[in-house]
Amino acid sequence: MAKVRNFLFHRVSPNRDLLWDPMDVKLFELCLAYISRNFDIITIEDIPNIKKDRNNYATISFDDGYKDNIDYALPILEKYNIKASFYIVTNCIDFNTPTWTYILDYLFTHTLCQSIQLNFDFLPHTMRDVSFKQINSKIEYAKKLKPILKTLNHSQRSKILKEISLAFNDVELPKIMMNWDDLRKLYTLGHNIGSHTVTHSMLGTMDHEDDIRYELTTSRKRIKEELGFFPNSISYPIGSYNQKVIDNSKKVGYTIGIAVKQDIYQSTKDNIFEIPRIELYNESWLKTYLRINHTLEIIKQVFRYK
């Protein structure tokens, strides 16, 4: 049985962020130095062809398509001669707008508005009409709202996001995404590019199959138009998928589906459309080291069942 540890990164930058902190460049380099010393690095797209008796494979991937990937991560990938996979949200690349998850954080940290009214019955009462006394209360509110949004269905979430964008229209969004030339450069250097949908929608929360199909096929077509090939792999935004998403991914031509789950891929038991990835964050090296070696999950399990 082959085992693969798939490591997931998002932003890599020396700049700090209050709500969603990018991984510091030095920590990123420590990760790659350690992973390249201790594992055989392949790409996620190589997984269908791996030798069955090897158990120390690792892959490196990045979701969303942030510009800092090419500015800060690429030089370190090249230094260690590592090929990675980049999963992109095609509307974010086309319009240079961040994903809705990023926008949400950014609006709450940058708006000068002192209140928000979200009169939706699917939100808890205490979240519907709130005034913010200090900057911290806005951040606290955003921290509470984000996990709630992830539990809603697609149309409910879209309504709330629209309302927040309208309310906080004093904020100009930052230009932090890669463009198609950046992606052509990565592809020419031997890295893989895959789909992360058109709008970063949580596919597993979409009721209508047409909406799922749109996210899967339109992103695929945009990548073909710009880069000249249909991507093999689909990375489900926020790791959200279900059987309907898997079936449709197969139907439209993907051969690999990628999730987010702090677990190791095992070729004999895991579905190629549910490849788990271990997300690494801007934390201490000790915690990162434990995540890389999967020890943190084992420690958590021991305490859970004690």
- Name which of 116 and 142 has its Cβ closer to Zn ion: 142
Q: Which stretch binds Zn ion (CB under 5 A): 15-23, 31-39, 62-70, 184-192?
A: 62-70
- Name which of 39 and 241 has its Cβ closer to Zn ion: 241
Site size with Zn ion, rule: CB under 5 A = 3
| Residue 63 engages Zn ion in binding (rule: CB under 5 A) | yes
- Give me the least distance between CB of 112 and Zn ion, in Å please: 28
- Name which of 204 and 237 has its Cβ closer to Zn ion: 237
- Name which of 116 and 177 has its Cβ closer to Zn ion: 177
Burial code of 173-195, b = ≥16 C-beta within 10 A, e = fewer?
Answer: eeebbbbbebbeebbeeebbbbb
Q: Which of residues 111-130 bind Zn ion (CB under 5 A)?
A: none
Q: Which stretch binds Zn ion (CB under 5 A): 1-9, 63-71, 146-154, 204-212?
A: 63-71
DSSP the chain: --EEEEEEE--B-SS--SSSPPBPHHHHHHHHHHHHHHSEEE-GGGGGG--TT---EEEEEEEE-BHHIIIIIHHHHHHTT---EEEE-HHHHHHT---HHHHHHHHHHH----EEE---TTS-GGGTEEE-SSHHHHHHHHHHHHHHHHHS-HHHHHHHHHHHHHHTTTPPPP--B--HHHHHHHHHTT-EEEE--SS---GGG---HHHHHHHHHHHHHHHHHHHSS--SEEEPGGG---HHHHHHHHHHT--EEE---SS-EETTTS-TTSB--EE--S--HHHHHHHHTTHHHHHHHHHHT-
- Give me the least distance between CB of 23 and Zn ion, in Å please: 15
- Name which of 98 and 237 has its Cβ closer to Zn ion: 237
**Nearest residue (beta carbon) to Zn ion:** 63
- Give me the least distance between CB of 290 and Zn ion, in Å please: 24
Q: How far is CA 169 from the centre of its chain?
A: 25
- Name which of 100 and 168 has its Cβ closer to Zn ion: 100
| Residue 64 engages Zn ion in binding (rule: CB under 5 A) | yes
- Give me the least distance between CB of 79 and Zn ion, in Å please: 26
| Residue 215 engages Zn ion in binding (rule: CB under 5 A) | no
Q: Which of residues 230-249 bind Zn ion (CB under 5 A)?
A: 237
- Name which of 38 and 151 has its Cβ closer to Zn ion: 151
- Give me the least distance between CB of 165 and Zn ion, in Å please: 19
Q: How far apart are CA 220 and CA 212, in angstroms?
A: 13
Q: Which stretch binds Zn ion (CB under 5 A): 46-54, 58-66, 104-112, 281-289?
A: 58-66
- Name which of 66 and 72 has its Cβ closer to Zn ion: 66
- Give me the least distance between CB of 10 and Zn ion, in Å please: 7
- Give me the least distance between CB of 239 and Zn ion, in Å please: 9
- Give me the least distance between CB of 237 and Zn ion, in Å please: 5
From residue 144, how far is each of 16, 48, 74, 105, 138 by CA, in Å?
Answer: 21, 39, 34, 11, 10
Residues in contact with Zn ion by the rule CB under 5 A: 63-64, 237
